[in-house]
Chains A and B, each alone.
Chain A
């Protein structure tokens, strides 16, 4: 693809058009899977900021997704707020809580941060289960279909037309952020905080930004997830959700934006492909995860980049123009 620039530039729009065409013919179930995959692109990209780029070993992503989902579900169903307000608000609420993760990240060693965020995640699920007065506990919450200019967003195809632009926008934003000095600061603190400080990077601020940003993506993803499922329960945001998020990022490729997207698609599709093998689903899932990581530690994206199928990712704007002018 590196040698075919037109293919690279046209790829994203063509993919969107293809997805829209697919939406015309797809049955409801296929469409639902597509929607889920798109949501997991947002989730995966969000986690990759934190885990891949900034190298922060934190485990709160599933819980933050749950916070986003519950913010939307509760405000729309119980207070009748507009979904269109709740969608960004879910991101902001998750970001505000997620930013708190920067506090332990500044003071503690890696494993401690892992445990504190894991403990936080357990506490969130516990609150969702036990604070029934507000969250309705294990009964779950119905999410009403939102209205858009008199059109009711109901059914998987309608939801798709909400999810696709959101995912596209979030992906584009992620690319723009990573290609700025902010993105480079993330990777620098992952690599060596001392170097970061000696180059004028405020480590505390950068960590706060990356925790908040990652959580914002989780919150938006959660809100869209609530819309897509139409009904959510606390258990959906527990450890298996977290394992899925980590699998997406690591299998797709840490330090790669397209990797998170590839991981999201593969890991949404894989369980569906294994549907008939219910009994073996976990075995194959676990095995695939282990084997893929052992065989290609850089993830699928790393392998595809080495083959020249995926374009290089350089965290600088317009670097291709520089490549053309410097021999």
Chain B
């Protein structure tokens, strides 16, 4: 396989992992919680986009924005119904709620979509681009572009909007945020909204690259989780770089070592990295307090 082809495909997958990792990191930073239903949010986004684009024949950008909007709404609802009341419980208990949610959402998706596997056509039918011996799929470029755009918007949001600043403040010190009058309830639901919107957007982008089926979320959750950990789990840029790394590692292993090993290569690498750098590539050392 051509190296450039592999790198572009790796970056495309990697930008999806990065979006998933971003969602995981956002929720982890505010709630101290790993959201195990995040893969299903991605799956939901994929199916929303599919329904809008294929069944209802809406234009692609509309379908994409609809998936993001509904994904955001879904996130807010989940936070309100499931997490508002139990936010103080043990982290294992909270994580189990998301596991229940993940099983539940898969079950819901199977009602209309059954056990079939759907294909989502690419956003536009353009020919593959050949660059020397490298072959690049336009969908890959689109994925990378949109993911980059979403990430940029996220940065701007955190930097320049009041809500974004409040969210950062809450992540740093929740009690302090409450003391200065930040409505942390609103921050929580916005965080979930934002994370879920990113996940749903990733779902629409992911559907043409992988396939669309109710169980598709698991793989993305695991890879996004891996990306987030690689990036330190607390850092937004870390999550993005982690995502790219996981995507590229995977493709290179698939291309040069063995396709059978491709699926687990990222995990293998991560175990090795974490044993050498126990706080991830970009994580800071945890300080123990008495």
Q: Which residues of A contact B (CB under 8 A)?
A: 51, 55, 57, 103-104, 107-112, 114-116, 118-120, 122-123, 126, 130, 194, 239, 243, 246-247, 250, 254, 279-290, 293-294, 297
Contacts and interface: CB of A to CB of B under 8 A. Distances in A.
Contact of B275 (A104, A114, A239, A287): A104
A48 B178 CA distance: 36
Contact of B92 (A130, A254, A279, A290): A254
A108 B279 CA distance: 7
Contact of A283 (B92, B97, B107, B268): B107
Contacts of B286: 109
B178 to A, nearest CB: 23
Contact of B107 (A103, A280, A294): A280
Nearest to A198: B290
Interface in B86-133: 86, 89-93, 95-97, 99-108, 110-111
A207 B40 CA distance: 33
Contacts of B218: 239
Interface string B275-288: 10011100100101
A283 B267 contact: no
A51 B90 CA distance: 11
Contacts of B96: 246-247, 250, 289, 293
Given A254-B93, A289-B96, A290-B97, A109 B260 contact: no
Contacts of A108: 274, 278-279
A293 B91 CA distance: 12
A294 B260 CA distance: 40
B225 interface: yes
A107 B280 CA distance: 12
Q: Which of A57, A104, A111, A288 has the most CB of B within 10 A?
A: A111
Contacts, number: 133
B256 to A, nearest CB: 17
B270 A289 contact: no
B82 interface: yes
A287 B267 contact: no
Interface residues of B, number: 49
B216 to A, nearest CB: 13
23 contacts: A57-B95, A104-B275, A104-B278, A109-B279, A112-B280, A115-B270, A118-B225, A119-B226, A120-B267, A122-B222, A122-B264, A123-B264, A126-B263, A126-B264, A250-B96, A282-B104, A283-B108, A285-B103, A286-B105, A289-B100, A294-B82, A294-B97, A297-B86
A126 B85 CA distance: 39
Interface of B: 28, 34, 82, 85-86, 89-93, 95-97, 99-108, 110-111, 218, 222, 225-226, 228-229, 233, 260-261, 263-264, 267-268, 270-271, 274-275, 278-280, 283, 286, 288, 290
A283 B283 CA distance: 37
A279 B110 contact: yes
8 smallest CB-CB distances across A and B, nearest first, come from A286-B104, A282-B107, A289-B100, A119-B267, A283-B107, A286-B103, A290-B100, A107-B278
B279 A112 contact: yes
Nearest to A291: B100
Contacts of A281: 107
B92 A104 contact: no
Contacts of A109: 233, 278-279, 283, 286
Q: Which of B86, B89, B103 has the most CB of A within 10 A?
A: B103
Given A194-B290, A294-B86, A246 B278 contact: no
B47 to A, nearest CB: 15
A17 B111 CA distance: 43
Contacts of B275: 103-104, 107
Contact of A287 (B100, B260, B261, B290): B100
Contacts of A283: 104, 107-108, 111
Contacts of A122: 222, 263-264, 267
A115 B226 contact: yes
A130 B261 CA distance: 9
A263 B210 CA distance: 36
Contacts of A239: 218
